[in-house]
Amino acid sequence: MTQLAELSVGPIAYDDTGGDGTPVVLLHGLAQDGTVWRHVVDELGASVRCIVPTLPYGSHRTPLRPGAQLSPRTMALLIGEFADTLKLGDDTVFVENDAGRLQQLVAERPERVGRLVIAGCEAFDNYPPGPGGKLLDAASRVPGGLAFLAQVLSVRPLRRMPGTGYAVMSHRPVPHDLIDRWVEPLRKDPVARATLQHYLRASVKSEMMEAAEALRTYDRPALVVWGRQDRMMPPAHGRRLAELLPQGRLVELDECGTLIPLDQPRALAKAIREFADSGPSDD
């Protein structure tokens, strides 16, 4: 059921399956919304409590307060504020796909992240990540660039062009109904575009390297899940992240790109469920 969490920047919409299971917060990437997790939520069923916010990454429909501007760092802190508002405890499993804000949250507020799953995210010097991320970043720096890119992505045949847009992010074609939904706010809402534009222009390349260093001291349960065919987030980065994390464990998946929730939802749900069932740290 969709609800609203009132945060310092304004309301954030989220879906919550409820129940007494372990809370699992599922976080999406830029120019997407919580629907990227739909198959994973179905696979997890009632075994956990799935909490899926739609973050203000340009595809959001719930407007923030006038003048609210977000950078990668403030977005990371916003995720922590969201968890605080919902009063989520240390047993909570935080899962992020595509973006890298959980790594920054761990760097700034490690006590907020009880358990961590990094599922195919930007890391180290891959910032903006790969061809897709660089295209989005370049569009944000040209007047009208994001609006033009959204219009291009609204043309269904153009979405399948190799090496561009969502096509580079997934081993399988991303369903048209999802892309239709994701690009609509970017096409129609100048405020949503401005939110994403400010976020992209505020990015600092060194931030992810600094966040990676902080992972060395995150001595809590951590899981890294990566697609072996990922063309946007190098698989070697998944291995490096797992080695950096004191309690890190790595799962690599075949026939899988960046959008693991779409390419391998069953395998990802299985990894999340087993990780959630393993229990929180004794710290």
Tens of pLDDT, residue by residue over 205-214, are: 899 999 999 9
157-180 per-position pLDDT tens digit:
888 777 667 999 999 999 999 999
62-77 average pLDDT score: 94
Q: Name 227's bridge partners.
A: 253
Question: Chain-wide mean pLDDT for the chain?
Answer: 95
Q: What is the rounded distance in angstroms from the CA atom of residue 148 to the CA atom of residue 154?
A: 10
Q: Could you say which DSSP state residue 155 is in?
A: S
Structure tokens at 101: 């804000």
251-274 average pLDDT score: 98
The phi, psi pair for 89, rounded to 5°, reads: -90, -175
In which element (H, E) is residue 153 found?
helix 145-153
**Cis omega before residue 190 (within 30°)?**
no
Check residue 187 and give its pLDDT.
Answer: 96
Structure tokens at 98: 């595509």
Which residue is listed with tokens 């004191």?
A: 246
CB neighbourhood size of 233 (10 A): 29
Longest dimension (CA), the chain: 52
The phi, psi pair for 248, rounded to 5°, reads: -75, 145
Check residue 69 and give its pLDDT.
Answer: 87
What global pTM score does this model have? 0.96
80-131 per-position pLDDT tens digit:
999 999 999 999 999 999 999 999 999 999 999 999 999 999 999 998 898 8
For the packed helices 206-214 and 101-108, what is the interaxial angle rounded to 10 degrees? 60
Give yes or no for residue 183 having a pLDDT over 80.
Answer: yes
With 0-12 / 13-18 / 19 or more C-beta atoms within 10 angstroms meaning exposed / middle / buried, residue 144 is exposed
274-278 average pLDDT score: 95
Q: Name 149's bridge partners.
A: none
Q: How confident is the model at residue 281 (pLDDT cuts 50, 70, 90)?
A: low
Give yes or no for residue 282 having a pLDDT over 60.
Answer: no
Q: Residue-wise over 192-206: b if at least 16 C-beta within 10 A, else e?
A: bbebbbebbebbeee
With 0-12 / 13-18 / 19 or more C-beta atoms within 10 angstroms meaning exposed / middle / buried, residue 234 is middle
